[in-house]
């Protein structure tokens, strides 16, 4: 048995959550974890919110909006979260798994890509974004944080959501980016179905 398979993973379905509260919970979990703390994967949706990372340009941040705008500590730039978008947060201890950061990120990206390609074979990963696209429209965004060898944040997958708030922002710092969701691409999938498929692929890759 490989070392990675000796480390248990706890999967949690948390439903609809406030972004700021979830961020604090992830930070607290990571700060307080110890050598026997189990790795966790959180599946959830967020109430409508714009979030932006440290690389976001000031002019890209929306000012005239009723949707909360929150600075966060993940990688990546400006994006939107809302109901119908699945968040996958990985709270892993990389040191305990003896996995290098780049290999960890690649394994996570592969788990999500394998899932999406099972629905649409033409889905592809765009390295310079980083995200998963179908017909040149972004479906998945990645943004991880590694702190003292431990990860949090993760990925967002657009499944069936209100697309209008996307029209008010430059998506992930690229004005040419267009987004869609699986529903608009003809895939009638639920949050729970996609969560279950991602869980299987995470277990395969970790």
Q: Strands 39-46 and 9-17, how do they pair?
A: parallel
Q: Please tell me which residue in 90, 91, 169, 172 is annotated as part of the active site.
A: 172
Is 172 marked active-site?
Answer: yes
| Residues 6+ positions from 111 with CB-CB distance below 8 Å | 198, 201, 202, 204, 205, 206
Task: Please choose, from the candidates 107, 89, 112, the residue with its C-alpha nearest in 3D space to the C-alpha of residue 97.
Answer: 107
Start-to-end Cα distance in the chain: 12
Catalytic residues: 172
């Amino acid at each position: 048995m490989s070392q990675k398979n000796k480390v248990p993973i706890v999967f949690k379905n948390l439903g609809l959550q406030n972004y700021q509260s979830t961020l604090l919970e992830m930070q607290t979990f990571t700060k307080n974890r110890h050598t026997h703390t189990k790795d966790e994967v959180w599946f959830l949706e967020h109430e409508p919110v714009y979030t932006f990372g440290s690389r976001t340009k000031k002019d890209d941040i929306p000012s005239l909006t009723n949707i909360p705008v929150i600075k966060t500590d993940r990688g990546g730039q400006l994006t939107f979260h809302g109901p119908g978008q699945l968040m996958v947060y990985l709270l892993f201890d990389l040191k305990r798994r003896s996995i290098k950061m780049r290999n960890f990120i690649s394994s996570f990206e592969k788990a999500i890509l394998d899932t999406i390609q099972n629905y649409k074979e033409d889905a592809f990963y765009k390295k310079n974004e980083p995200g998963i696209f179908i017909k040149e429209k972004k479906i998945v965004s990645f943004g991880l944080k590694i702190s003292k060898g431990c990860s949090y944040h993760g990925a967002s997958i657009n499944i069936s959501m209100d697309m209008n708030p996307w029209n008010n922002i430059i998506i992930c710092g690229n004005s040419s980016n267009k987004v869609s969701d699986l529903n608009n691409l003809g895939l009638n999938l639920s949050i729970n179905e996609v969560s279950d498929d991602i869980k299987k692929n995470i277990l395969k890759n970790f």
